[in-house]
Structure 1
Amino acid sequence: MTQTPTEIEKHQYDVVIVGAGGSGLRAAIAAHEAGAKVAVLCKSLLGKAHTVMAEGGAAAALGNLWPEDSWQVHFRDTMRGGKMLNNWRMAQLHAQEAPERVLELEDWGALFDRTKDGLISQRDFGGHRYARLAHVGDRTGLEMIRTLQQRTVQLGIDVFMEFTVTDLMKSGDAISGAFGYWRETGSFVAFEAPAIVLATGGIGKSFKVTSNSWEYTGDGHAMALRAGAKLINMEFVQFHPTGMVWPPSVKGLLVTESVRGDGGILKNSDGKRFMFDYIPEFFKAETADSEEEADGWYDDKKNNRRPPELLPRDEVARAINSEIKAGRGSEHGGVYLDIASRRTPEFIRKRLPSMYHQFKELADVDITVEPMEIGPTCHYVMGGVEVQPDSEMSGVPGLYAIGECSGGMHGSNRLGGNSLSDLLVFGKRAGDAAASYVAGLGGARASLSDADLAAAEELALAPFAGSGAGTENPYTVQHDLQQTMNDLVGIIRIREELERSLAEIEKLKERSKHLVVSGDRQYNPGWHLAIDLRNMLLVSECIAKAALEREESRGGHTREDHPGFDDRWGTLNIALSLNAAGDGVELATQPLPVMPDDLAAFFEEDH
């Protein structure tokens, strides 16, 4: 007997963007300007995107402070930061096109900080040879969202706010639309569209301590898997070195890398500046005769002296973790980040206004006179949907992925500042490609199947249907998942703990079949979480399985039982796909794309 859905609100578009962060809005603008009818669906409110948490700046080789900078150097830094596991073509396109995208943002009204000559100012950040982050104080992401949002509204692009997408619809092998619901009323909506661009962000809410906001439940990752796409690099989770550790209500809240870029240093409870003990051989070069001569900075070739606090994030996070484990942590379990002894109060308040107010208001700490207590926090996943570098299309025709829910660009570790320019570069490329794909269909498009819509509706309502037999509270299951990921799949990993995490995830998947929510569909956060858990559990399984498979330490993946690089793994990606039963994931290894000789030549001087 064929199922029929209840009355469902329906819309028809050429391109539907799921997510209204920097990449989603840039894709929407590009698709609209290419002539497509576009809708943007966002889980929260327009302007509230997680992009605003990217405070430091957008990396682009403008050469405003260092004329020696170029896309080639930026490309090389990005590949080195990703420990050569990046998709070389994505890293190349990003480095080449980032300057144009940043200048375009300026043309649209973004108000960047300026040099004394009136050019866009650029600040130093970890892993970048030259200061290349275009910035607006420590509120760069906010300015980016303000600018893109304003342009989106000016162009008249339709935006559906406080709307959750639960499933992607297909006709044959290709995308035909999306299904979801209004969070306010719980009523269902179907979007008929031959092109879907996933811009849903990351997976941080699977971890106990994270800088990510509530929306980051791996929706795009999981929906792409269920639609038939592959995920890559999921073992690589970036723990930002500096999140707040006190008070508990704000634990994990991001402390921008700009603090270190503008001179902040890391100290342990003994008052020692410890990062000099953790500079890897890979990053060492000729040094000054003494730390004092170089003001505590080390030489990164070409006589550009840089503090060890600005090593790539994975290196700094591991160093902080080691100090805390060795008993040299701060009162509340972190370490100290000190800029007060290095810069004047006027400088700090001008360059870091958000950080000044954040600590003053939330922790009663004045960062102009005392150090901050910070510690690593789950911040970013390098892994995501495997896409074609030039178009961002996945292996599913009509399905695109950009931003944090796409994989390949950052390899095993993302450099700070590359996220904002990544959003702009690949957002535009995906929007252009999606509009071109739809135009190429010549008006032919599949309609949505009533049976598929009814099945999606039934799945979304399952937590209500389980009221009689249901025994599990969604909040309890999420808490247990976060604790499992925090304790067993965190910064430092080992086989026994990873195996235990997978066993725990299987138990949680079984418990999730018995979720129960009370009340009705209006304003029901328990129901929203029950739906999110389906995605969080699937993505957590991907992370743990890939982490168990990769028997080496590289970037955002550290195996205590397999320290150091393994050359065998340096040329392989782990690809994950949904298993045949649809209730878990399976993995396979695949070779990295081979870098052309002219680009490979940039790395001949490396150790």
Structure 2
Amino acid sequence: MARSNHVIVVGTGLAGLTATYELLQKKVSVTLLEKTNQFGGNSIKASSGINGVKTYQQTTLHNINDDSIDSFINDSIKSAKSLANKDLINILASNSKNAVDWLSKDLKIELNYVAQLGGHSHPRTHRGSNLPPGFAIISALKKYLENFDSINSNHNLNILKNSKVIELIKESNSNLNTNTNTNKIIGLKYLDLNSNKINSIYGPVILATGGFSADFDSEDSLLKQYRKDLLSLPSTNSAQTTGDGQKLALKVGAKLIHMDQVQIHPTGFIDIQDPLNKWKILAAEALRGVGGLLFNTQGDRFGNELLTRDKVTESIFKNFEQIGINQETDKKVLIILNESSYNKMKMNFDFYIKRGLLFKSSIRELNKQLGFSKENNKILKNLIQVNKYINGIEEDEFGRTVFSDEPFDLSQELDSSIYYGYLTPVVHFTMGGIKIDSNARVLTEDSNNHEVVLKGLYAIGEVSGGVHGANRLGGSSLLECVVFGKVAARSVSEYI
């Protein structure tokens, strides 16, 4: 039997933690389940930032006043292509300022740097100077919730780690004296991975379980079902990202949408000490936003690095074909950056350097590593050309208009210092998922095949589908989690 004023949240990424925070502010009791022993999901690894329009940081700190909600909406619709859901995109963009304000003012998270990422018409992606944005946000929310759990004797919050949800419970239609169920979720069953016992809890359910970009090997693998062509690619996702929420929802009649829309991020770092490792660390899109350039292993640029992710990925694979790269182990490109870019993302650079993913060396040393002859000055010549674009002397042949703030220092020619790393495309994000309405309620079909709300069930974050259409813009994942986490909290509060 459902408990009044009690909600179950599944997943401790940013979407789940935002919904939990908001529910507690509304004096709603929450049971928060996490199948691992750690908070954060994939949100904790987010490194590029969160989008926001007309924020204090954008307008006052950086004097960017020509951006608008309409511009953000148009960029998102263009990125989503024919699969754009304008209602959901409008909610995302219209609430972006409030999302950034909540993080920076209420949670005291520093988000003072604003960058322009691929597919954006203006700089609007916020990050801090000291910590990666995902880590900073998750850490702040985790601290708040753990303190809340310890100081509130009325047990408004119950955190259950190592708890894997195995079934959503539908209300029985006892009035009909049959074994049929109504379109209403009243709770769930979960497996306590510590005791190996199955328990039931009751209340409306918010699914915030993430995507399925690491669902390579399970018997009911969603990647195998919808995108077999991607099984050979590496992933930036944590191994637990196996589509649990989508599978649970499907079993109770929820509709899934855009399941074949899986984002291949163009830039995952290759660890040269372990190049075949399936699990990659993302090379944040912000690296390109602050001036990073992509080169093939022959020393040439091959496209505009600040197009949308799908187009940059397409240009990489096309270049592999053009220069005759067929072996998976040879499918890599270079990112090259200068000191100006380092100064803008020092914390990120230092982390990548410490992990052996990014290096500082001379152009000569890089040429030697690539096996170039002494006469091959292609990288130097191409950087000289890029400096002309940066200085406004010429226009980029690939149409890029935003580069690093300062040109490369090439005064030492081949002995000039640069930063570089090896990258490869990676499975990164699933745009498809559970179909929701503008209140984050899960949709199903009735006996007449009419689309209706599946009462008592909500989906937020990457487990849901439709917000990003065919392609997600960088910086909109964290934003989606905050915006729709708040939407779901409000919606379920009204429901109970």
TM-score range, shorter chain: 0.7 to 0.9
Structure number with higher strand proportion = 2
1:405 aligns with 2:447: no
Please name the residue that 2:280 is paired with. 252
In 2, Cα distance between the equivalents of 1:166 and 1:210? 25
Give the C-alpha shift of residue 353 in structure 1: 2.3
CA separation of 1:320 and 1:361: change in aligned 2, threshold 3 A: same
Q: How many corresponding residue pairs?
A: 387
1:186 aligns with 2:196: yes
Q: CA RMSD in A?
A: 2.3
TM-score w.r.t. the length of structure 1 is: 0.60
- Aligned counterpart for 2:434 among listed residues 377, 385, 400: 385
Please name the residue that 2:342 is paired with. 348
Which moved further from structure 2: 321-330 or 421-430?
321-330
Please name the residue that 1:428 is paired with. 486
In 1, Cα distance between the equivalents of 2:145 and 2:82? 36
In the alignment, structure 1 segments of 5+ residues that lack a partner are 1-9, 114-119, 276-307, 439-607
In 1, Cα distance between the equivalents of 2:281 and 2:195? 31
Please name the residue that 1:20 is paired with. 12
TM-score w.r.t. the length of structure 2 is: 0.73
Q: In 2, are the aligned partners of 1:139 and 1:354 still within 8 Å (CA)? A: yes
Write out aligned runs for 1:60-139 (5 A): 60-61=52-53, 62=55, 63-64=58-59, 65=62, 66-113=64-111, 120-137=112-129, 139=132
In 2, Cα distance between the equivalents of 1:339 and 1:67? 31
In 2, Cα distance between the equivalents of 1:313 and 1:326? 20
1:322 aligns with 2:332: no
In 1, Cα distance between the equivalents of 2:477 and 2:259? 17
Summarize deviations over 1:457-485 as a string: whole Å, max 9, x none.
xxxxxxxxxxxxxxxxxxxxxxxxxxxxx
1:262 aligns with 2:290: yes
Q: In 2, are the aligned partners of 1:20 and 1:199 still within 8 Å (CA)? A: yes
1:203 aligns with 2:197: no
Q: In 2, are the aligned partners of 1:210 and 1:252 still within 8 Å (CA)? A: yes
Please name the residue that 2:334 is paired with. 337
Give the C-alpha shift of residue 85 in structure 1: 1.6
Summarize deviations over 1:561-589 as a string: whole Å, max 9, x none.
xxxxxxxxxxxxxxxxxxxxxxxxxxxxx
Aligned residue identity for 1:399: L
Please name the residue that 1:219 is paired with. 244
Q: In 2, are the aligned partners of 1:245 and 1:334 still within 8 Å (CA)? A: no
In 2, Cα distance between the equivalents of 1:18 and 1:427? 12
Between the aligned residues of both structures, percent identity stands at 29
Q: In 1, are the aligned partners of 2:335 and 2:421 still within 8 Å (CA)? A: yes
Please name the residue that 1:374 is paired with. 423
In 1, Cα distance between the equivalents of 2:428 and 2:328? 23
In 1, Cα distance between the equivalents of 2:237 and 2:122? 28
In 1, Cα distance between the equivalents of 2:193 and 2:324? 46
Query: Match of 1:173, SS?
Result: strand
CA separation of 1:313 and 1:352: change in aligned 2, threshold 3 A: farther
Query: Match of 2:470, SS?
Result: coil
Q: In 2, are the aligned partners of 1:58 and 1:419 still within 8 Å (CA)? A: yes
CA separation of 1:189 and 1:11: change in aligned 2, threshold 3 A: farther
Please name the residue that 1:176 is paired with. 186
Q: In 1, are the aligned partners of 2:11 and 2:32 still within 8 Å (CA)? A: yes
Q: In 2, are the aligned partners of 1:71 and 1:95 still within 8 Å (CA)? A: yes
Summarize deviations over 1:4-49 as a string: whole Å, max 9, x none.
xxxxxx9997210010110101111122222321111011234342
CA separation of 1:31 and 1:250: change in aligned 2, threshold 3 A: same
CA separation of 1:339 and 1:392: change in aligned 2, threshold 3 A: farther
Please name the residue that 1:140 is paired with. 133
Q: In 1, are the aligned partners of 2:349 and 2:358 still within 8 Å (CA)? A: no
Query: Match of 1:249, SS?
Result: coil
Write out aligned runs for 1:492-571 (5 A): none
In 2, Cα distance between the equivalents of 1:390 and 1:251? 35
Query: Match of 2:443, SS?
Result: coil
CA separation of 1:123 and 1:350: change in aligned 2, threshold 3 A: closer
Please name the residue that 1:532 is paired with. none
Give the C-alpha shift of residue 372 in structure 1: 1.1
Summarize deviations over 1:287-344 as a string: whole Å, max 9, x none.
xxxxxxxxxxxxxxxxxxxxx211000001111112223336699423333333x335
CA separation of 1:35 and 1:48: change in aligned 2, threshold 3 A: closer
Give the C-alpha shift of residue 260 in structure 1: 0.4
Please name the residue that 2:46 is paired with. 54
Give the C-alpha shift of residue 154 in structure 1: 3.8
CA separation of 1:437 and 1:52: change in aligned 2, threshold 3 A: same
CA separation of 1:381 and 1:139: change in aligned 2, threshold 3 A: same
